[in-house]
Structure 1
Amino acid sequence: MLLSLMIFIPLLGMVAVLLLPRESEELVKRVTLLFTLIPLALAVYLFISYDRSTAGTQYVTNVPWIDAFNIQYHVGIDGLSVTLLLLTALLGPICVIASWRNIEKGIKAYMALFLLLETGMLGFFAALDLFLFYVFFELTLLPMYFLIGVWGGPRREYAAIKFFLYTLFGSVLMLVAMIAVYLNSNIVNGVAEGARTFDIPTLITLAATQGHALANSDFQVWVFVGFFIGFAVKVPIFPFHTWLPDAHVEAPTAISVILAGILLKMGTYGLVRINMAMFPQGLDHFTDGIGFWGNSLALLGFINIVYGSFCALAQTDFKKLVAYSSIGHMGFVILGLAARNDSGITGAILQMFNHGVISAMLFLLVGVLYDRAHHREINGFGGLGTRMPIYTGITTLAFMASLGLPGLSGFVGEALSLLGAYERFKFLTILSTIGIVVGAAYFLWTLQRVFLGTLNPKYEALPEINGREILTLVPLGILTIVLGVWPNFAIDMFRESVTNLIDVLNAI
């Protein structure tokens, strides 16, 4: 019940916001903030009370929903989902505070859509029924489309439509694969037995049962591809990535934070929860190291790392640089998952959480500068370190974390991912370290161009970062340091879940 309350509190908040008068803008903001702080409090409680010694799901609610198709409202958490639920709930109030002065038109509609988006994200990470999982996945699409298309930059309509079409394309393939799984969920040795189901834990068990239609290796390969493309668009994985830079550049700051911090993780979470756990033979086909297809998932991770890093190096727009850096960093997650071992998967999941924190910091920092200078051209700044020392210090922390400096959170996830990948894909892993070198290059070069050198006279009166902006960055900065020196804070949460997943993968 507690988990369901956390999921639907923002939806209740959306209704409350819609009932408020349009002219009561301050009240709308305060009500929205309240309805994002409640899920955060509940997420912290779930995180603290979660039993780390078991891989099973906890705080489970399972009640019938659509009886005709045996669809259930089935939610619960394990070590992976509770970690991402905490990240989602944390970024909720941070984004509301970040939007406090930045959104000037249609504040009521903006806040209502944001609360709807939060419900979709929270529900997605908690869903244990495949149909419910898909509903929450799709629930994030429309609010995101309008938040970019209405409140975005000059090319917002183009970016929103591109985001919508790419995601819809992936969703359709995912829907086809989901229906195929459902229709085959009661077929054993070619004979229909019992009722069909969308229940994810049940489907995982059936997919490992000899003689069951879901355990057929050819079937698993095809549905693996269907789900994979749907999630690959969200990650995004090359070549499904081109919507991301446009969406980030045009989206308001807070929506860029959600896009990088949470929506990208929905893709990698789906790969772990569905592709890896439910279709291990499909995964094996693309990660067994035999021939082209046996290296293909690792190859996609490598391409993401190198392509994203070099594209980031070429950017002069601060926000687009951070967007391309996200593509590169998510490549390490894919490479770690392709390794299929303890180090690789642990590193990938840790990197998912760490990247969510660091990328949120980076986009908030870009927004702070844009609010003052009204442009993001890196070469147009210079010498800001003397004018904005606090802002420079926080940005340096975020840059160092993102480039993987030991002692900060970005290092551990990437190191574990590479360590795991090296056991299976030695040559690709060695080549992937190019991304780390290039990452250091583009962040240090940006640091030099924006903050060092002679101060541009045009920015002599540029105000320092204010208290509201610092408030949004402090919790993320603390997490960046804590997870750098104490990564087990997060790893202990999902260690048993990773062990359980590896047992499933090793059983094929």
Structure 2
Amino acid sequence: MTGKLLSLAIWLPILAGLVVLATGGDKRANVARWLSLIGALAGFLVTIPLYTGFDMLNGGMQFVELKPWIESYNINYHLGVDGISMWFVLLNSFTTLMVVLAGWQVIEQRVGQYMAAFLIMSGLINGAFIAQDAILFYCFFEAMLIPMYLIIGIWGGPNRVYASIKFFLYTLLGSLLTLVAFIYLYYQADGSFAIADFARLPLGMTAQTLILVAFFFAFAVKVPMWPVHTWLPDAHVEAPTGGSMVLAAITLKLGAYGFLRFALPIVPDACRQYAWVFVLLSLIAVVYIGLVALVQTDMKKLVAYSSISHMGFVTLGFFMFAGGTQMNSFAVEGALIQMISHGFVSAAMFFCIGVMYDRVHSRKIADYGGVANKMPIFASFLMLFAMANSGLPGTSGFVGEFSVILGAVQVNFWYAVAGATTLIFGAAYTLWMYKRVIFGDVANEHVAELTDVNKREFLVLAVLAVTVLGMGLYPKLFTDVMHVSVNDLIWHVSQSKLH
């Protein structure tokens, strides 16, 4: 069965989603909920052996599956995970389980379709992280847009149609140039779409530069990097709670993963030459977007801008070339840890905002105040997640940012200073929001009527709290898996392809 684990990680959630769709309308909503929970739990459980059976001394692809798909073009059903991608498959499957629990009582209309969309999207996202064939990756990468488009467009807020179309067009159009790059690489690789074959091509500098531009438009939009980030706040504000959780925790990571899996191995010389551009854009995201978050009045929009700032740290770590030639292992591993941590913390923050919205039906900071008087358990959990979002030592939010700053110091002291401002701005906008929403006297009759978290909400918050604290207190559990794969990538990028 271990030889089919990756296929199960893709197709089991998709199959479960189709079964949930078959339950019909809202008359069988409870059946849809329970089937979704079973499907999400099964989808998560089949990914656990990817960790328990992972060979940490092997930096290459493991659990590989290879079968012909479109033989006339040498397109294969080629799957595999390494120490970089494995954690994101686990994170995605875990987040899907949390999303099903988060929407259990909240979603009352089209319950089956809602749950099915998340299950199907979970399988498609796993496919993008697992695919080792460029066309297979592209199919999964684009197909996952459809469920998210529907989730925002059907179950979102008042401006959901505008937000969903903007999200779809930004991410779709950005990816089209990547398809052109894949086709060019296919002919250069003598008719192979294997990503590993692309990484071995001796491409000239002009070709590398053009391919990097194509990759940038696809993956920078998905991250999103400044200045192609404007779709994200709109999408977050209009998306239902589950949509925001998946959007922040998982889909943004696909953009950063694309840089690691495609740009850096395939066009290393161009990445090295233009690393300063990525560093500059990343630092703008960290500093400027942090200041933008500081003036937000909508809690969801504040956390959305916070996500852009934190993901700026990720791209900063990836393109931190020591001495202009060597990728920085501190920075790269720190960026990967930041990606995983942000998945936990952002999902928790958006869930907490959803808990309050379900009771008050407002996301405006001004409509709250004194919540701790009525929801002390909830306030305690939100305090933990707010501290993690601020980068408090002992939480997952600190580990990745600290490692990236360490790596930045080795390259340029002022990069580290600029990057470290996120610890100041992050604390400013997160804790200021927390103070205005949670502390003080009960602000109005809506807050006075609040009730503390129920058992379902407590379960989701407790599980997310364990992940945030566990990663913060024992990051070795995560870094040991990725260490060899990261070193292999760094070695590969350091070997110039140009003669």
- TM category (shorter chain) comes to over 0.9
Cα shift at 1:105? 1.5
Whether 2:34 is the aligned partner of 1:30: answer yes
- Give the CA RMSD over aligned residues: 1.1
Which residue, out of 374, 378, 382, partners 2:365? Answer: 378
Which residue, out of 476, 490, 494, partners 1:502? Answer: 490
Matched residue, 1:190: none
Cα shift at 1:483? 0.9
Name the amino acid aligned to 1:184: Q
Q: What is the 5 A alignment of 1:106-505?
A: 106-186=110-190, 196-204=191-199, 206-207=200-201, 212=202, 215-287=203-275, 295-339=276-320, 340-458=327-445, 459-505=447-493
Question: SS where residue 109 of structure 1 aligns?
Answer: helix
Which residue, out of 1, 10, 15, partners 1:12? Answer: 15
Check conservation: 1:335, 1:418, Cα contact below 8 A. no
- Could you tell me how far apart the structure 2 residues matched to 1:34 and 1:18 are? 14
Check conservation: 1:63, 1:73, Cα contact below 8 A. yes
- Could you tell me how far apart the structure 2 residues matched to 1:35 and 1:411 are? 33
Check conservation: 1:346, 1:416, Cα contact below 8 A. yes
Name the amino acid aligned to 2:96: G
Cα shift at 1:44? 1.4
- Could you tell me how far apart the structure 2 residues matched to 1:224 and 1:185 are? 17
Check conservation: 1:63, 1:74, Cα contact below 8 A. yes
Q: Percent identity?
A: 42
What is the aligned length?
485
Taking structure 1 as the reference length, what is the TM-score of the superposition? Answer: 0.94
Which residue, out of 54, 59, 68, partners 1:55? Answer: 59
Q: Which runs of 5+ in 1 are unaligned?
A: 187-195, 288-294
Check conservation: 1:347, 1:414, Cα contact below 8 A. yes
Cα shift at 1:171? 1.2
- Could you tell me how far apart the structure 2 residues matched to 1:6 and 1:168 are? 24
- Could you tell me how far apart the structure 2 residues matched to 1:18 and 1:478 are? 32
Name the amino acid aligned to 1:488: K
1:279-334 C-alpha deviation (Å, 9 max, x unpaired):
111211212xxxxxxx1110011011012211110101111110000000001111
Worse-superposed segment, 253-262 or 430-439: 430-439
1:217-266 C-alpha deviation (Å, 9 max, x unpaired):
22111101101210111100011100000000000000100000000000
- Could you tell me how far apart the structure 2 residues matched to 1:431 and 1:21 are? 53
Question: SS where residue 21 of structure 1 aligns?
Answer: coil
Worse-superposed segment, 412-421 or 256-265: 412-421
Question: SS where residue 328 of structure 1 aligns?
Answer: helix
- Could you tell me how far apart the structure 2 residues matched to 1:286 and 1:75 are? 31
Check conservation: 1:299, 1:428, Cα contact below 8 A. no
Matched residue, 1:290: none
Name the amino acid aligned to 1:407: G
Check conservation: 1:354, 1:409, Cα contact below 8 A. yes
- Could you tell me how far apart the structure 2 residues matched to 1:457 and 1:56 are? 58
